[in-house]
């Protein structure tokens, strides 16, 4: 019996997130205050009292979800005994702090740098992402390749649910073709840009420098990274995959399947929301899934 801890990415935020943790636990209070100081703005105030619109800003969303997730993992204390970890996109950074590859401070700084770099990259070309439901992954990938302009498969979330990403016009053209090919739905998402696509190359270059200058330790448990969908423990390889992640697809379906193949029987989601547990049920109903109990 092996335990796998999974950490959510962007989209899991909610109004008032973390306020209960701040009130109940001294460790949480310490981390929130520390984060405000490191970031140079009151992230805690936006998390506790900000509107949904404020929380949706990439520079806020990413550190907010990271902070909530990392604090939740720390609060588990000795009960946090992972055999393996994984995080969806941004969640990979939370997973790397939880499995002691990164320090809290370094993880937060990298997440902040990542959010700023991604925000900048979205301002260069009109771009977006779209959710595609009810089509085989291979068909979606073929249609993306055959569509004029930059559009790629970006998130393999679960069988029959994939997200494409790219130039605004190309994504719209791909959506039309996908619907003609039998997709149940192909909907533009309310996001600021084309994450996990070649359009994130400027952000990748910016983040690469910061990652290369950051110390990564040997993890206490392997991380199943988005890029490779396989177990990684070598700090240099973890760095390479983390850099590649910005312009590469999130292979979440494949990551979960590989974790199960490697013996994972119990999946515990740590952080805001239950999105990943929903995906887990669609990937494989034979394994256990639950929220971390603090």
Q: Annotated active-site positions, please?
A: 89, 196
Q: What angle do CA 202, 11, 273 make, to 5 degrees?
A: 140
Structure tokens at 109: 């700084």
Structure tokens at 92: 């990979």
C-beta separation of 108 from 60 below 8 A: no
Alpha carbon 11 to its chain's center: 9
Q: What angle do CA 250, 150, 252 make, to 5 degrees?
A: 10
Structure tokens at 142: 């073929």
Nearest to 176 by CA among 148, 137, 138, 136: 148
Task: Provide the strand spans (E) within the chain.
Answer: 2-7, 84-87, 127-133, 151-158, 161-167, 185-188, 223-224, 231-232, 264-269, 288-291
């Amino acid at each position: 019996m092996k335990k796998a801890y999974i950490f959510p990415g962007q989209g899991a935020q909610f109004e008032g997130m973390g306020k209960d943790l701040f009130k109940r636990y001294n460790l949480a209070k310490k981390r929130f205050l520390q984060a405000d100081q490191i970031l140079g703005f009151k992230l805690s105030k936006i998390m506790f009292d900000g509107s949904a619109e404020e929380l949706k800003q990439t520079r806020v969303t990413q550190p907010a979800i990271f902070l909530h997730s990392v604090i939740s993992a720390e609060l588990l204390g000795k009960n946090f005994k992972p055999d393996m970890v994984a995080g969806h996109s941004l969640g990979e950074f939370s997973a790397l702090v939880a499995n002691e590859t990164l320090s809290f401070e370094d993880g937060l700084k990298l997440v902040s740098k990542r959010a700023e770099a991604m925000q900048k990259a979205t301002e260069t070309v009109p771009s977006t992402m779209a959710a595609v439901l009810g089509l085989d992954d291979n068909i979606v990938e073929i249609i993306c390749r055959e569509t004029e302009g930059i559009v790629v498969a970006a998130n393999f979330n679960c069988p029959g649910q994939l997200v494409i990403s790219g130039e605004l016009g190309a994504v719209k053209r791909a959506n039309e073709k996908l619907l003609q090919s039998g997709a149940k739905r192909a909907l533009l998402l309310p996001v600021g840009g084309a994450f996990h696509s070649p359009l994130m190359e400027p952000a990748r270059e910016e983040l690469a420098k910061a990652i290369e200058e950051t110390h990564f330790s040997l993890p206490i448990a392997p991380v199943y990274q988005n890029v490779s969908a396989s177990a990684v423990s070598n700090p240099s390889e973890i760095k390479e995959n983390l850099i590649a992640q910005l312009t590469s697809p999130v292979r979440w379906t494949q990551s979960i399947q590989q974790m199960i193949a490697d013996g994972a029987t119990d999946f515990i989601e740590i952080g805001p929301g239950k999105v990943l547990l929903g995906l887990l049920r669609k990937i494989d109903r034979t394994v256990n899934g639950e929220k971390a109990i603090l």
